[in-house]
A = this chain, B = another copy of it.
Amino acid sequence: MQWTKVLGLGLGAAAFLGLGIILGHFAIPKKANSPAPSISAPQDLDLEILETVMGQLDAHRIRENLRELSREPHLASSPRDEDLVQLLLQRWKDPESGLDSAEAFTYEVLLSFPSQEQPNVVDIVGPTGDIIHSCHRTEENVTGEQGGPDVIQPYAAYAPSGTPQGLLVYANHGTEDDFKELQTQGIKLEGTIALTRYGGVGRGDKAVNAAKHGVAGVLVYTDPADINDGLSSPSETFPNSWYLPPSGVERGSYYKYFGDPLTPYLPAIPSSFRLDLANVSGFPPIPTQPIGFQDARDLLCNLNGTLAPATWQGALGCHYRLGPGFRPDGNFSADSQVNVSVYNRLELRNSSNVLGIIHGAVEPDRYVLYGNHRDSWVHGAVDPSSGTAVLLELSRVLGTLLKKGTWRPRRSIVFASWGAEEFGLIGSTEFTEEFFNKLQERTVAYINVDIAVFANATLRVQGTPPVQSVVFSATKEIRSPGPGDLSIYDNWIRYFNRSSPAYGLVPSLGSLGAGSDYAPFIHFLGISSMDIAYTYDRSKTSARIYPTYHTAFDTFDYVDKFLDPGFSSHQAVARTAGSIILRLSDSFFLPLKVSDYSETLRSFLQAAQQDLGALLEQHSISLGPLVTAVEKFEAEAAALGQRISTLQKGSPDPLQVRMLNDQLMLLERSFLNPRAFPEERYYSHVLWATRTGSVATFPGLSNACSRARDTASGSEAWAEVQRQLSIVVTALEGAAATLRPVADL
């Protein structure tokens, strides 16, 4: 304990008397036995503590965490997943380095698994009904880790079972346009099996689009052109490089929404109402199975029919044709069919989130929430264990300071290890459903580190504008891994940047979709969120994602040898996240810069004006109210920034700061409208909902315009454009109102 500082606090009380006289006019104290003034106010971000934390985040320990976490496959709800729940609880309850408390929260959720007794198979069936060729059922056991009983067979989670059989066609990415192209080419799709490749559209969408054309079954593979920079031979792939081996198959959830499929908007506790399976929407409509490119080559390079368009060609070493059926001069007789037998089963399983908390010393009811999922498809060294390894190192370093009595944050810090993310962000979504109000009222921000390291070139951050400045502050102070003496910030700006009207050239943050557990926090709860990772040099690879993603080749050695030898990128992510956590939890004034939303709104507005203005005018719809609303937001955000600056120069009262901080924390909430997008699930943030329209503006407006474009004035579709415009205007005006001085009418 530091006595000198306690004394300093006593002296501060003198200044406090003087101020009291000035303010007495408004706040005349009433009683002798009035409650004492705040004792806990002065705590602010401590740069020494910050430096200590930065120094203690240890690359070697992250590596050891990763080794342990990825030692065995730990599919959601598997015994090993349960073991890791215990590991997390043990770490977070450790008397030397643990948190204040930790607890597992279990939900009963609907997962989908392939049958163990009856594996999914993809066969070529000759005209007599004989199986003349079979695709691999498992990935090749290249490192001894691909063969165990816990390595789940590649499958498309939530695809229905069924055994469709038909002529094969090639459908590129399986987008709506791709199937239209096949139709245009005169190819009869009814009853066929469509071979598609990953990319271009969501997993489940391929089957949805296919089924509309009568396709009976769907195969999905990863083309070496998309993932391996064209390389495909075993000598060029893992374990000889980071590239995907020919037998590698990307697993994944093919469910359209997120959250437990049976309990939308309700937590999946045992007693909760569950939808009848017949009423569940969002599962693929037809049997679907993923395969490796080795198998895809056998199928695709033997296809008959027209040559596929140039953009449909890939790197399998042959000319891709469209089908239907095999060519007479190929490996299979021309009238052979493909049989896709899927025996997936839906099962109610227990899946747990683990939560740990460090109680805030001053404002324990303000939560800085940091999380990652725990479940993997197989060993999941990269996805998600690289993030979990960082999570554990962060909690260890902060926990140790805590247990030593060196430090306790101003606000509470909550660590989360989510369950069943791979099946559709299930653990995090159920958590937001169960604690909706508590979280919405109190959460300062959500920080997600799922895959910590995709590659070791640069930081990449997705997030909403209020978090930009704290990310910048943090990354300017941390040295970038790799050669040179750049900060993470200075390295980052070389890879991702944009010209900001306010700041000039700055690193560019991506926007948050629904790729990881931040989705329910930003879209459903309206909590300012971010996702942090180290990633590629795009000049060096065009891989869609790290090549062994969701395969049995995503192992510790893969990370250790190829992705991040030395774990310095992991360390960089840990330091970045750690600095952000400390800044959010310890700063007297919340480092959320709401005025950074102004640039987003202005750019959305400009896109609307430039790309939709003329069209809207034709239909007598004015953007005037939107212009006014954006201007009002800009002015109020700037004025609030001014008031904060002024206050920071003085000795503000902690309640005053709390009130300002509430304005900053709650701004993101004012963009939520649960009635804006009735056809969407959870999406209620009017700035970040899914945008399907082509114009990079407010999503509701963009989408409504793209639907209305070809309809007449006065149509329902144009009414929806006007409604969406009013929803945005109301949200922006409402947001601006929350930024005004709190006693203004």
Residues of chain A having any CB pair with chain B under 8 Å: 1-2, 5-6, 8-10, 12-13, 15-17, 19-21, 23-46, 100-103, 265-267, 269, 271-273, 276, 355-357, 359-365, 405, 407-408, 410, 412, 414, 433-438, 441-442, 588, 622, 624-625, 650-655, 657-659, 662-663, 666, 669-670, 674-675, 719, 722-723, 725-727, 729-730, 733-735, 737-738, 741-745
Q: Which residues of B contact A624 (CB under 8 A)?
A: 271
Question: In the bound complex, what is the Cα–Cα distance between A46 and B102 (angstroms)?
Answer: 44
Question: In the bound complex, what is the Cα–Cα distance between A414 and B652 (angstroms)?
Answer: 25
A438-B737, A722-B273 known; A364-B36 Cβ under 8 A: no
From the candidates B42, B45, B276, B657, name the one contacting A29 in the complex (CB within 8 A): B42
Q: How far is the CB of A489 from chain B (nearest CB, A)?
A: 25
The answer to whether B16 and A655 touch across the interface, beta carbons within 8 angstroms, is no
Count of this chain's copies in the oligomeric assembly:
2
The answer to whether B361 and A26 touch across the interface, beta carbons within 8 angstroms, is yes
From the candidates B30, B46, B273, B727, name the one contacting A44 in the complex (CB within 8 A): B30
From the candidates B24, B356, B658, B743, name the one contacting A360 in the complex (CB within 8 A): B743
A364-B743, A442-B742, A730-B267 known; A23-B40 Cβ under 8 A: yes
The answer to whether B655 and A103 touch across the interface, beta carbons within 8 angstroms, is no
Question: In the bound complex, what is the Cα–Cα distance between A743 and B362 (angstroms)?
Answer: 11
| Closest chain B residue, CB of each to CB of A105 | B745
Question: In the bound complex, what is the Cα–Cα distance between A438 and B1 (angstroms)?
Answer: 41
Q: How far is the CB of A170 from chain B (nearest CB, A)?
A: 42
The answer to whether B34 and A37 touch across the interface, beta carbons within 8 angstroms, is no
Q: Which residues of B contact A25 (CB under 8 A)?
A: 1, 405
The answer to whether A17 and B9 touch across the interface, beta carbons within 8 angstroms, is yes
From the candidates B16, B26, B723, name the one contacting A37 in the complex (CB within 8 A): B16
The answer to whether A39 and B42 touch across the interface, beta carbons within 8 angstroms, is no
The answer to whether B363 and A655 touch across the interface, beta carbons within 8 angstroms, is yes
| Closest chain B residue, CB of each to CB of A436 | B734
The answer to whether B730 and A272 touch across the interface, beta carbons within 8 angstroms, is yes
Q: Which residues of B contact A622 (CB under 8 A)?
A: 271
From the candidates B1, B21, B355, B725, name the one contacting A24 in the complex (CB within 8 A): B1
A101-B745, A362-B655, A745-B357 known; A37-B35 Cβ under 8 A: no
Q: How far is the CB of A662 from chain B (nearest CB, A)?
A: 7
The answer to whether A36 and B30 touch across the interface, beta carbons within 8 angstroms, is no
> Which of A16, A624, A719 has the most B CB atoms < 10 Å from its CB?
A16
Q: Which residues of B contact A17 (CB under 8 A)?
A: 6, 9-10, 13
> Which of A43, A45, A674 has the most B CB atoms < 10 Å from its CB?
A43
The answer to whether B35 and A652 touch across the interface, beta carbons within 8 angstroms, is yes
> Which of A269, A271, A360, A407 has the most B CB atoms < 10 Å from its CB?
A271
From the candidates B24, B44, B663, B723, name the one contacting A31 in the complex (CB within 8 A): B44
Q: Could you jot down 16 A-B contacts, CB within 8 Å? A: A13-B36, A20-B39, A25-B405, A28-B408, A30-B43, A31-B42, A37-B42, A265-B675, A272-B730, A273-B723, A364-B742, A414-B745, A433-B730, A437-B666, A437-B669, A442-B742
| Closest chain B residue, CB of each to CB of A42 | B34
| Closest chain B residue, CB of each to CB of A41 | B37
The answer to whether B29 and A359 touch across the interface, beta carbons within 8 angstroms, is no
Q: How far is the CB of A412 from chain B (nearest CB, A)?
A: 5
| Closest chain B residue, CB of each to CB of A625 | B271
> Which of A1, A359, A730, A741 has the most B CB atoms < 10 Å from its CB?
A730
The answer to whether A42 and B13 touch across the interface, beta carbons within 8 angstroms, is no
From the candidates B2, B35, B360, B666, name the one contacting A28 in the complex (CB within 8 A): B2
Question: In the bound complex, what is the Cα–Cα distance between A97 and B669 (angstroms)?
Answer: 37
Question: In the bound complex, what is the Cα–Cα distance between A727 and B273 (angstroms)?
Answer: 9
From the candidates B266, B359, B655, name the one contacting A38 in the complex (CB within 8 A): B655
Q: Which residues of B contact A43 (CB under 8 A)?
A: 27-30, 34
The answer to whether B273 and A655 touch across the interface, beta carbons within 8 angstroms, is no
Q: How far is the CB of A739 from chain B (nearest CB, A)?
A: 10
The answer to whether B743 and A357 touch across the interface, beta carbons within 8 angstroms, is yes
Question: In the bound complex, what is the Cα–Cα distance between A675 and B265 (angstroms)?
Answer: 8
Q: How far is the CB of A303 from chain B (nearest CB, A)?
A: 47
Q: Which residues of B contact A442 (CB under 8 A)?
A: 742
